[in-house]
Amino acid sequence: MMDRDEFVGRFGGVFEHSPWIAEQAFDNGRIVEPLRAGPVHEALCAEFRAADHDQRLGVLQAHPDLAGKLAIAGDLTVESKSEQAGAGLDRLNADEHARFTELNTRYMRDFGFPFIIAVKGHDKDSILAAFETRVSNDEATEFETACAQVEKIAGFRISALLPEA
**Residue 48 main-chain phi, psi, to 5 deg:** -60, -45
- Asked if the peptide bond before residue 34 counts as cis, ω within 30 degrees of 0, the response is yes
**Of 138, 109, 16, residue with least CA distance to 70:** 16
Query: Exactly one of 17, 41, 53, 63 is catalytic; which is it?
Result: 63
**Residue 67 in contact with residue 23, Cβ under 8 Å?**
no
Burial class (CB in 10 A: 0-12, 13-18, 19+), 74: exposed
How far apart, in whole angstroms, are the C-alpha atoms of residue 23 and residue 96? 39
- 63 is known as an active-site residue: yes
C-alpha distances (whole Å) from 26 to each of 5, 6, 148, 161 are 10, 11, 22, 17
How far apart, in whole angstroms, are the C-alpha atoms of residue 131 and residue 129? 5
Give the residue numbers marked as catalytic. Answer: 63
